[in-house]
Amino acid sequence: MVAALDGLITVQEGLIICADNKKAALIERSVEDLNKITIEEKKLVKQLEQAEQERMAVMESISQEQPAASFQSFLDQVPSEQERHKLESQLKTLQELTGELQAKNKINDRLLKDSMGFVQHMIDQITQSQQQQFNYQSPTGQKNSQTGNRGFFDTKA
C-alpha cells in the first residue's frame, strides 16, 4: 500500500509541475509549449490511472484478508504503529497535492478562458473594421466606385 500511495504522490507532483508550466505557457501565449505540456500531461494522467488501479488492487487484496469499509478502518487494522503513521502521512500529502492541483487547474482554466475571450475580441474587431468605411464619403450618400470596395486592407495600394 505504501508503494502504491508513493506512486500516486509522484504522479500528482508531476501533474502540479505540468500545471505550473501550463500557466507560464498560457501567460506567454506559447502554443508550441502548451502542446508539449498537454502531451506530457496526457502521459501523466495515464500513469495516474495505472497507479490508482494498483492501489485499488492492493486494497482489494487486503480487504479480502481483512474486510474494511473505508480507508480509515483499514488504517485502524494496520498492526504496526509506524506503518500506520506512514500511511496517514501519505494520505494527507496526497490530499494536499490534489487540492493544490485543483487550485492550479482553476487558475489555468481562467487564463485559458481569458485568452480565448481576447482572441474572440480581436476577431470581432477585425471583422467589424472590415465592414467600416475608412475613406471620406460625400454627405449625399453617393459612393465613389473606386473606394467602395476597399476594406481594412487595401489590395490596390
What pLDDT sits at residue 155?
Answer: 58
Cα separation of the two ends of the chain: 73
Is 90 exceeded by the pLDDT of residue 99? yes
Tell me what pLDDT residue 64 has: 72
Residue 40 banded pLDDT, cuts 50, 70, 90:
very high
pLDDT digits (tens, 9 = 90+) for 102-146: 999 999 999 999 988 888 888 888 887 655 555 566 666 555 555
The model carries a pTM of: 0.70
- Closest-CA residue to 116 (of 33, 31, 41, 19): 31
Write down all domains in the chain, each with its CATH number in brackets. 2-127 (1.20.58.300)
Q: Rounded CA gap, 38 and 119, in Å?
A: 20
Task: Report the pLDDT averaged over residues 67-88.
Answer: 76
Q: Which residue has the cell 454627405?
A: 139
Amino acid 9: pLDDT: 93
